[in-house]
């Protein structure tokens, strides 16, 4: 996929309408970075509005053998150019799905407590692809509460590990624990395309072991409606029970 096309799609996903204040966050990250040991993880403050990096931690070079200044100078364009070509489309779909989910399913006052994770293969400074798992927590939002500034942690994993491109959204609940609100796999679609978006929502929650009553509350529909959707799903997929469906998805580690 050409960088121009990636740029257009990326800007569509993160389109925003004002300029947030970054100085406080950057200064705090610089202070913290000075005390952190060298590990297989580095962090950045990402600015999707400006398509750049506001700060890059010292561990980037030890993780990727790429100078941080290269990232800051050439910004997102350079970053995109090093994502594995086979992962670019899936990666963009993952970002778009997380943004859609946030804007449509997460109340504005809860967005400060969200955390997002996705992964892709990335070419390091030795021209070898490694796995990167990226976790981003929003720091700033635009006028419409769209997350545009994030604290992103990148964990580098062995390139021999086979990872499907997935996306996860987690919410920090009142117990101080992260609960999974959304998960999807983008390399494969195990279920057929005649499954509706609402049915996909219900299946994702079923896999997370939510009951019909809990699903109804999360989707703002009745329990009877959830049960109707469940019956329709089983009929479409020619599966005898919800347990069989969940077992199939968990074994294959692929969702809608």
Domains, the chain, ordered by start? 3-184 (3.30.450.20), 189-252 (1.10.10.10)
Query: Alpha-carbon dihedral of residues 243, 249, 253, 256, nearest 10 degrees?
Result: -140
Reported as a pLDDT band with limits 50, 70 and 90, residue 244 is confident
For the chain, how far is it from start to end, CA to CA, in angstroms?
Answer: 24
Adjacency order of strands within the sheet including 114-123 = 52-56, 41-47, 147-157, 129-141, 114-123, 166-172, 178-185
Residue bearing the bigger pLDDT, 11 or 151? 151
Q: Which tokens is 115 given?
A: 């955390």
Which stretch of 22-26, 41-45, 125-129 has the lowest confidence by average pLDDT?
22-26
Give the tens place of pLDDT for each residue, 50-64: 899 989 998 899 999
Q: Which residues pair with 168 in a beta bridge?
A: 117, 183
Q: Which tokens is 63 given?
A: 């993780």
Nearest to 210, CA basis, from 238, 229, 193, 191: 229
Q: What's the pLDDT score for residue 188? A: 57
């Amino acid at each position: 996929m050409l960088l121009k096309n990636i740029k257009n799609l990326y800007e569509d996903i993160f389109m925003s309408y004002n300029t947030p204040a970054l100085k406080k966050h950057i200064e705090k990250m610089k202070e913290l970075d000075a005390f952190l040991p060298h590990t297989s993880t580095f962090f950045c403050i990402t600015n999707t509005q400006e398509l750049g990096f506001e700060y890059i931690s010292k561990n980037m070079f030890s993780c990727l053998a790429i100078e941080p200044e290269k990232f800051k100078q050439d910004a997102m364009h350079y970053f995109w150019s090093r994502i594995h070509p086979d992962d670019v489309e899936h990666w963009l779909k993952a970002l778009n799905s997380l943004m859609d989910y946030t804007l449509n399913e997460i109340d504005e006052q809860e967005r400060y407590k969200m955390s997002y994770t996705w992964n892709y293969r990335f070419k390091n400074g030795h021209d070898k692809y490694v796995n990167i798992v990226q976790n981003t927590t929003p720091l700033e939002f635009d006028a419409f509460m769209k997350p545009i500034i994030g604290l992103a942690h990148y964990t580098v994993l062995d390139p021999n590990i086979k990872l499907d491109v997935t996306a996860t959204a987690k919410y920090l609940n009142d117990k101080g624990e992260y609960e999974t609100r959304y998960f999807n796999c983008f390399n494969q679609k195990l279920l057929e395309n005649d499954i509706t978006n609402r049915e996909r929502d219900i299946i994702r929650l079923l896999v997370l072991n939510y009951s019909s009553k809990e699903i109804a509350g999360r989707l703002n529909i009745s329990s009877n409606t959830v049960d109707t959707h469940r019956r329709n799903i089983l009929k479409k997929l020619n599966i005898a029970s919800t347990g069989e469906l969940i077992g199939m998805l968990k074994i294959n580690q692929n969702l809608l």
